[in-house]
Amino acid sequence: MGDYTGNVYLLDQTGNVLASKNSDGSISAADAVAAMEEQGRTGVFDARIDDRSYSFAITSSNSAKWTALAVVPTSQFFGRVIAAKTLVFTMLSAPILIGVGVGLLLPVPVLGAAA
């Protein structure tokens, strides 16, 4: 994941940023926290900020009362999902196609035929 672009924030229970890592600076901490508070829950959701679509992943710690917020461009998020689906589809379909090809190329002996 060396080509990761996006931002990660660690928030306290009142929504103040305790730590952050911004790899592209495309979205401010204030905008990210506002979008998270508007959604009002943990999990994964999409939001548009400044005419750009972002995917948010939010999780909370009950013991520390902190919230971790990751924000990545939606195109990057779904690009990785599509790449994984393509890889799985290729790995599953290749043996089937090879089997069909071999089956069509090899002669099948006819039962009951005299040799």
Whether residue 38 lies inside any domain: the answer is yes
* Residues spanned by the domain of 70: 7-75
d(CA 33, CA 80): 25
Whether residue 86 lies inside any domain: the answer is no
Position 103 scores a pLDDT of 85
Whether residue 51 lies inside any domain: the answer is yes
β-sheet bridge partners, residue 71: 7, 56
Over residues 2-34, the pLDDT tens digits come to 566 788 889 888 888 898 888 776 788 888 888
Position 92 scores a pLDDT of 93
Whether residue 13 lies inside any domain: the answer is yes
Whether residue 17 lies inside any domain: the answer is yes
Over residues 86-102, the pLDDT tens digits come to 999 999 999 999 999 88
Domain at 49, CATH number: 3.30.450.20
Greater pLDDT, 81 or 16: 16
Q: How far is CA 115 from CA 105, 109, 111, 112, in A?
A: 21, 10, 10, 9
Whether residue 102 lies inside any domain: the answer is no
Whether residue 85 lies inside any domain: the answer is no
Whether residue 34 lies inside any domain: the answer is yes
Would the pTM count as exceeding 0.75?
no
> Quick one: tokens of 109?
């002996």
Place of tokens 């979008």: 35
Position 44 scores a pLDDT of 84
> Quick one: tokens of 68?
């971790």
Amino acid, res. 52: R
d(CA 16, CA 20): 11
> For the chain, what is the domain count?
1
